[in-house]
Amino acid sequence: MTERIEITDFVTGEAVEAELFDDVAVEHFLEAQEEWRPVVVEARWKLSATGEQHLIPRHAHWDWTNKEEDLKLLAFTFYGLRCGGKLQGLMKLQTVGHRCRLPEQIGKPLVYVDYIETAPWNIKLLMRALGREPQYAPIGSVLIRAAVRKSIEEGLKGRLGLHSLPTSEQFYLHACGMESVDKDPAKQNLLWCEFTPEGAERFTTGGTL
């Protein structure tokens, strides 16, 4: 599946064409490592001098090539987003093995967002701390909408769950409108966020960046 979509170029403020695709291969993982990580290393070096290391995303150490074996498993689905000749985002979903935790839908199956990452040059706080403007948006929203659609395709009515990194909680809870349950001590005390079918519909029809 390859879908032509529009995202926003931050510099011009204009809509530009991008590709959302699910035929992710190891070459995309290698591209992320080769192009994304040097930007993070540069940012870490510069921000350490100003005491702003906290702006470095906690996912900056992820190595997507470690997920190569999961490409062969039916339980996992990967999505990528490309624009301007570069990879702008990656996401890994698990379609089996996870259950809802919200009281009103506890125990029901959902699609789990295992990993989701935006290219560092699209992260507003990070780029502006470096005196630059981010390049494209809304990468995260596009990927989460794809995850909701996958949930619907699997017959799960848009139910979606994930463990949020602390720096991403505001995005999931406020921009996406997901609901939180609790911190999960079994998952590095990360906050569990979840979509009900109604919440997923609200987001897909009117979500923000």
Query: Count of CB atoms within 10 A of residue 45's CB?
Result: 9
pTM to 2 decimal places: 0.92
DSSP 8-class letter at 159? -
- pLDDT at position 53, please? 65
Q: How far is CA 22 from CA 3, 48, 128, 146, 205, in A?
A: 9, 36, 31, 10, 22
pLDDT at 37: 87
CATH number of the domain to which 50 belongs:
3.40.630.30
Domain that holds residue 64: 2-206
**Regarding predicted confidence, which is higher, 207 or 59?**
59
Choose the weakest-confidence range: 24-28, 80-84, 106-110, 127-131. Answer: 127-131
Average pLDDT, stretch 82-110?
97
pLDDT band at 207 (very low <50, low <70, confident <90, very high): very low
**Each residue of 102-152: pLDDT tens digit?**
999 999 999 999 999 999 999 887 887 778 889 999 999 999 999 999 999
Distance CA 165, CA 173 (A): 12
The larger pLDDT score, comparing residue 201 to residue 125, is at 201
> Phi then psi for 21, rounded to 5 degrees?
-140, 155
- Structural domains of the chain, count: 1
**Cβ atoms 90, 76 nearer than 8 A:** no
Tell me: pLDDT of 43 over 60.
yes
Query: Cβ(151)–Cβ(88) under 8 Å?
Result: no
As a whole number, the mean pLDDT across the chain is 91
pLDDT at 48: 73
The Cα–Cα gap between 75 and 101 comes to 20
End-to-end CA distance of the chain: 24
Res 148: pLDDT:
98
Residue 120 CB neighbour total at 10 angstroms: 24
Using CA atoms, how far apart are residues 174 and 133, in angstroms rounded to an integer?
Answer: 22
